[in-house]
Structure 1
């Protein structure tokens, strides 16, 4: 047995470390995934005015700002039983939907694509054959001219001639586990570069109603403040124009590329590479028409798609047996409202994590559980649950993708399958986001312009508790607030990555990240491409997953950066 350490995992938000134990054949037998940086916001929120919660909680992460902003404000609204005007909900949803689209595209191309794309191989591609290849996956491929591909090769050659690969600088070119042809690699690189432009454009859609992005300013307790934008036909048209451009890229580049990837890596998909334990969770949400929701709520156990339970928030708990915390002097806790005591334990002398004993602590990430079980959350969970609960909105999108790639639903539970689910979800959101805008326009047309629920803060309850469960790009997000004397007394967040990157608990059960690594074969331990591929498929956000900070001024550790 041999231990392989990858630290840090790059192309993610935050600092993640993975230690895997491989046998003589390079097959992973055990895995420990650790959130390494101690940081956060919850203690900063203590003693603050609840109406300021969104502005502060939005700083939990530089990527998921909108999600935490809305989560904090919604938790406070729940505490005070405030009911929002429909227009405020729609504006918040339009901002959220634009963020879903941006986040998924950026993840696929800029954070994950280099796990599958051998960049230097594209230099050998034939531009005419590349155009033909793209037509296998789309009737109208995005920017598919011979001249465009020839220009892309020139750009790539300039990077190589300069002695560096610019945005493609970290990869394992020539690795035996790369499976795309030179022409397929060139298609993906072309779209990688186009996606850099895409993400700047789609950000405008969030900013139209958010005031700016990241860190939007327009969500307030009781509603939204971007009333002038909502009532201005030009602003609504600007939003629609951005979304129409986005839909074109999704339909002609992103979805076809996801199909191409699924076809090229079909053997790995069928071998269930990267499959976790099969427990999936979604809280649902995003109303469209009456009781219809964009996502269904539900819980799946052990890939049993035929028996989906309704989500029950009372079954959520958060434990710390193997995370570097104690709670009120104890090792375990219920969810929300409680103080966390830092309890860091040293690493082994060789710098490795302490994992030998069942009670060794090895991560700053806490351990959320649903009914005592680990869960996977995210686009895959949402697609599986919504599809099997016969959500009419999403069913055709899943069926079309599975038919085009000759896959079954269970195949989505894999490394490449997670990317497929994320692409399906993006196409699905792009289709229905226009219906939300239509609903908003209809409301305005019939003189419903309410955007804020009036309240008198001084007359609200002095003591209150609130919570919210939301589906955000990376999965299920929950915020919990405890208010005393009209000030925040305690605050707690469970982010999607907290669920997926959870450490083992007292029972030794692996979280989704760790379980998905088991059985993966590494071709070359010095180039751990296979490990990165599995972890990146979850779109890790460690800034969200580790979010407690010590405000007592106590030095916890000291770091020294060595120059190379």
Structure 2
């Protein structure tokens, strides 16, 4: 069999290599490899747990907030710290902003060009484009002049041979099927989203001081509330947050969701390709910050074998990681899994020196560990959460899914697919955008009543801690279930493990030879042209990979990389 290699897989965060064994143009097996070493756990050993969030947040430049929250929640869980309601609400507003921002950016800037051909957009008639756009949405910009201006901008880039972000695409690939007018609509919204996303992250700068890498604190939030102050969170800034929340909802409802529907109408076969495992896991997003309260915004849910009718509760003891095919070693043996609280991060690289032709997939071939739940590989992410919300009939998701699928003339099983994943991400965005209105209203109500508390100083000092403690911080990140597990001994971090969404989805095989979600999802794909593996990119991008989160960058020396 011929092996097709995609390295690097572009339009993701980090370095991902996909190797696919192809016979008669069809993928028989696939292998996913993270090509950077994971080491943040090593860096955190021996440090003050109160500062862990600041380092864990640097795992990724895109997913910064989620790692900070998971780390803070783990430490607060270990130390028994309760967070004031206002701090929890502010955190939720920042989490909601991240979800809306991240999902929109993923669709337009990391995934859309798998389906949208900007070169074909130059052939569109702006009048017809405006007419088509208004069939999907009453978005106020959808005028012929608006689309003509976008077309002119792109044409100028083409004539200058400066395609920039549109360079080196497979624009002659026969799998691009959209009519020129829809290509122009989606291209225009691609550019709109670039501008939109720079504004809505102001929620993070208002509450966290900056973005990326906002400021946080174990025990609450470092941003004081004081309506009489010019520098604290006052009514003017809270009013700005409300405006930004409405802008998020507007863009999601008028642009993002209609674009997903329009795209789905022309690629309906991709609602039946790219599922993979059929096992879906949600570790859970707490209603406040502690999972021990048993109150959930997104409830912990395990769906096995597509059985949505019988969603299972989650047992965190069943989360374990293998390193059988990972470049790490365990003291108990590489074929035995370890629970994250007993997890080990010991490097053991046995792979080829770059550049190389192929990985030895019979041995170790990735810097990702292989997390499993109840011994099974699972998929995490927006699709898993939407299925959990559907199964538990919350937030109107069941009705919303029904309306969208009926409009596309698709059965429920269409969700188990490449485009099902992409559609689920949009539906989840609407859930978070709507929820932000409620969180904001509650925060405003508290402030109007004179409740300004955002920080709990109890148990802040190490002298109040137990000599030994362990904690779990759960966070449903945009890309899926995130968990940070910490052991604290004598005031310092003794062991730290982060089990992140892309580690779940992109892991190598485990001791039983079971493939991960990425690896399983590619099997059966027909490649039109192995030299232009657009089909591989479509399915892998539908997961929204973040390899920086999954492997983390670490170096134990001081080698100079580059001087600028």
Q: Deviations over 1:257-296 (max 9, x none)?
A: 0001111111231xx21111110011232539x9874423
The answer as to 2:492 corresponding to 1:459 is no
The answer as to 2:112 corresponding to 1:123 is no
Please report how far the alpha carbon of residue 312 of structure 1 lies from its aligned counterpart in structure 2 after TM superposition. Answer: 1.2
Please report how far the alpha carbon of residue 328 of structure 1 lies from its aligned counterpart in structure 2 after TM superposition. Answer: 2.3
Q: Scaled by the length of structure 2, what TM-score is found?
A: 0.93
Q: Deviations over 1:276-328 (max 9, x none)?
A: 1110011232539x987442321001111111100111110011000000022
The answer as to 2:242 corresponding to 1:255 is no
The answer as to 2:149 corresponding to 1:147 is no
Q: Tell me the equivalent position of 1:134.
A: 133
Q: Tell me the equivalent position of 1:194.
A: 192
CA 1:349–1:156: 2 relative to 1, 3 Å: closer
Q: Tell me the equivalent position of 1:277.
A: 277
Q: Tell me the equivalent position of 1:335.
A: 339
Q: CA RMSD in A?
A: 2.1
CA 1:334–1:212: 2 relative to 1, 3 Å: same
The answer as to 2:414 corresponding to 1:411 is yes
Q: Tell me the equivalent position of 1:368.
A: 371
Q: Deviations over 1:43-96 (max 9, x none)?
A: 111111111111111111111111111111110000011111111111111000
Q: Tell me the equivalent position of 2:40.
A: 41
Quote the Cα distance in structure 2 between the aligned partners of 1:50 and 1:231. 27
Aligned counterpart for 1:425 among listed residues 417, 423, 428? 428
User: Would the aligned equivalents of 2:36 and 2:552 in 1 still touch at CA under 8 Å?
Assistant: no
The answer as to 2:27 corresponding to 1:21 is no
Runs (5+) with no aligned partner, structure 2: 227-231
CA 1:190–1:461: 2 relative to 1, 3 Å: same
User: Would the aligned equivalents of 1:416 and 1:537 in 2 still touch at CA under 8 Å?
Assistant: yes
The answer as to 2:398 corresponding to 1:389 is no
The answer as to 2:449 corresponding to 1:446 is yes
User: Would the aligned equivalents of 2:41 and 2:345 in 1 still touch at CA under 8 Å?
Assistant: no
User: Would the aligned equivalents of 2:321 and 2:371 in 1 still touch at CA under 8 Å?
Assistant: yes
Quote the Cα distance in structure 1 between the aligned partners of 2:63 and 2:370. 20
Aligned counterpart for 1:225 among listed residues 214, 222, 244? 222
Q: Tell me the equivalent position of 1:11.
A: 11
Q: Deviations over 1:74-127 (max 9, x none)?
A: 100000111111111111110000000110011000011100011111111011
Quote the Cα distance in structure 2 between the aligned partners of 1:550 and 1:519. 38
Q: Quick check: 327-336 or 415-424, which moved more?
A: 327-336
Please report how far the alpha carbon of residue 468 of structure 1 lies from its aligned counterpart in structure 2 after TM superposition. Answer: 1.4
Please report how far the alpha carbon of residue 559 of structure 1 lies from its aligned counterpart in structure 2 after TM superposition. Answer: 9.8
CA 1:486–1:198: 2 relative to 1, 3 Å: same
Quote the Cα distance in structure 2 between the aligned partners of 1:256 and 1:9. 28
Quote the Cα distance in structure 2 between the aligned partners of 1:136 and 1:313. 47
Quote the Cα distance in structure 1 between the aligned partners of 2:470 and 2:9. 37
CA 1:548–1:491: 2 relative to 1, 3 Å: farther
Please report how far the alpha carbon of residue 346 of structure 1 lies from its aligned counterpart in structure 2 after TM superposition. Answer: 2.6
Q: Deviations over 1:442-467 (max 9, x none)?
A: 22233332212222421211221111
Q: Scaled by the length of structure 1, what TM-score is found?
A: 0.93
Quote the Cα distance in structure 2 between the aligned partners of 1:542 and 1:142. 37
User: Would the aligned equivalents of 1:42 and 1:548 in 2 still touch at CA under 8 Å?
Assistant: no
Q: Tell me the equivalent position of 2:267.
A: 265
Give the secondary structure class of the aligned counterpart of 2:30: strand
Quote the Cα distance in structure 2 between the aligned partners of 1:80 and 1:164. 55
Please report how far the alpha carbon of residue 396 of structure 1 lies from its aligned counterpart in structure 2 after TM superposition. Answer: 3.6
Please report how far the alpha carbon of residue 348 of structure 1 lies from its aligned counterpart in structure 2 after TM superposition. Answer: 8.7
Quote the Cα distance in structure 2 between the aligned partners of 1:170 and 1:404. 35
User: Would the aligned equivalents of 2:225 and 2:452 in 1 still touch at CA under 8 Å?
Assistant: no
Please report how far the alpha carbon of residue 339 of structure 1 lies from its aligned counterpart in structure 2 after TM superposition. Answer: 2.9
User: Would the aligned equivalents of 1:142 and 1:249 in 2 still touch at CA under 8 Å?
Assistant: no
The answer as to 2:216 corresponding to 1:211 is no
Q: Tell me the equivalent position of 2:535.
A: 530
Q: Tell me the equivalent position of 2:229.
A: none
Q: Tell me the equivalent position of 1:483.
A: 488
Q: Quick check: 397-406 or 235-244, which moved more?
A: 397-406
Please report how far the alpha carbon of residue 349 of structure 1 lies from its aligned counterpart in structure 2 after TM superposition. Answer: 9.9
Give the secondary structure class of the aligned counterpart of 1:223: coil
Quote the Cα distance in structure 1 between the aligned partners of 2:294 and 2:339. 29
Number of aligned pairs?
549
Please report how far the alpha carbon of residue 367 of structure 1 lies from its aligned counterpart in structure 2 after TM superposition. Answer: 0.3
Alignment of 1:169-188 (within 5 A): 169-188=167-186
User: Would the aligned equivalents of 1:377 and 1:476 in 2 still touch at CA under 8 Å?
Assistant: yes
The answer as to 2:326 corresponding to 1:300 is no
Alignment of 1:161-172 (within 5 A): 161-172=159-170
User: Would the aligned equivalents of 1:111 and 1:536 in 2 still touch at CA under 8 Å?
Assistant: yes
Quote the Cα distance in structure 2 between the aligned partners of 1:322 and 1:142. 52
Aligned counterpart for 2:242 among listed residues 235, 240, 243? 240
Q: Quick check: 313-322 or 343-352, which moved more?
A: 343-352
Please report how far the alpha carbon of residue 405 of structure 1 lies from its aligned counterpart in structure 2 after TM superposition. Answer: 2.1
Quote the Cα distance in structure 2 between the aligned partners of 1:195 and 1:122. 17
Quote the Cα distance in structure 2 between the aligned partners of 1:399 and 1:112. 24
Quote the Cα distance in structure 2 between the aligned partners of 1:87 and 1:228. 9
Quote the Cα distance in structure 2 between the aligned partners of 1:117 and 1:197. 19
